[in-house]
A and B are shown apart, each in its own frame.
Chain A
Amino acid sequence: MPEKVVEGNRKSRRPRRDSRPRLSGRSQLDIRNRYPRQKISVNFDARLRLFIYRHLIAKCRAPSIAEMARHFKSQKHLDVALQRLCASHAFVLQENGDLWRAAPFSAVPTAFPVKVGNRSYYGNCIWDALGIPAMLGQNARIDASCGCCNLEMLLKVRNGRLLGSKGIIHIAVPARDWYKDIVFT
């Protein structure tokens, strides 16, 4: 798995203890208190993000909080990392703490179903529905419909191209206000 390769590479690149610059006792303490934690949290966030995506892609559903906690063996680190991921708006939690959105995927059914091979996903909006085949680099079928009259508007992605589709996309909210009300947006 790519994460293990990254772990291995990081260890092999770690400088030898002797080659580290010598710092005063106070400076060493500062470095230990700041840099390693930051590095660990960035790494943990990336592993969590990829775990969520891989789970969603493979099982067509988001992992529950309990499943994530079991995988990472730390509820405390998980809670803090989820908060950091949610700060980017790419991830949004439901009131019960489970995932609601891991962009471009919706963890709950929506009007934007996306079929990739024999797997079915949901996008949060038409942008995200198109984002699923863009992210996976795979062919897809999006069973969308007109936002006004609900007429079926089937979209297909084949070999990296959007095929023979008629229609337009309307974004009601100006870009700088998108995250003021993410549900409406």
Chain B
Amino acid sequence: MLLFRSEQHVDRWCKQWNRPRGGILSLEQGWRLAKEWYSDRLSPAWRPKSVSEAEAAFARIGLKGEFWKLSV
């Protein structure tokens, strides 16, 4: 999960490493994802998200589609 200056830089990186293009997030989506994922991590009651909870968290910030699916 890397930061890039632009989509052209993502394409250059994918070509360099012979990787298909993956999922793209805006920085704001990345920040919201970080808050969804980690803001409760210091709670004694924290537990890992279930598949459905994680997919719901992705959907809340607009990350939908096959790439973001965790369920088989």
User: Which A residues lie at the B interface, using CB under 8 A?
Assistant: 2-3, 6, 46, 49-50, 53, 88-90, 103-104, 125-128, 130-135, 137, 144-149, 151, 153, 155, 157, 161-162, 165-176, 185
Contact = CB atoms under 8 A, between A and B. Distances in A.
Contacts of A173: 22
Contacts of B22: 170-174
Contacts of A175: 54, 58, 67-70
B53 interface: no
Contacts of B70: 175-176
Contact of A170 (B13, B34, B41): B13
A151 B5 contact: yes
Interface in B20-56: 21-31, 33-35, 37-39, 41-42, 44-46, 48, 54
B4 A147 contact: yes
Contacts of A145: 3
Contacts of A171: 1, 22-25
Given A127-B34, A131-B38, A176-B69, 20 more contacts: A2-B44, A3-B44, A49-B46, A50-B44, A104-B41, A125-B1, A131-B37, A134-B37, A134-B39, A144-B3, A146-B5, A147-B3, A167-B3, A168-B7, A169-B30, A170-B13, A170-B23, A170-B25, A171-B24, A174-B67
A1 to B, nearest CB: 11
B6 to A, nearest CB: 7
A167 B39 contact: no
Q: Give the residue among B7, B38, B46 with the most A Cβ atoms within 10 A.
A: B38
B27 A148 contact: no
B27 A170 contact: no
Given A169-B27, A171-B25, A146 B37 contact: no
B72 to A, nearest CB: 7
B69 to A, nearest CB: 6
Contacts of A144: 3
Contacts of A169: 1-4, 24-27, 29-30
B67 A170 contact: no
A57 B37 CA distance: 18
Contacts of B23: 170-171, 174
24 contacts: A2-B44, A3-B44, A6-B44, A46-B45, A49-B46, A53-B41, A104-B37, A126-B1, A127-B1, A135-B39, A146-B4, A147-B9, A153-B3, A153-B5, A166-B27, A168-B24, A169-B1, A169-B30, A170-B10, A170-B21, A172-B14, A174-B22, A175-B58, A175-B69
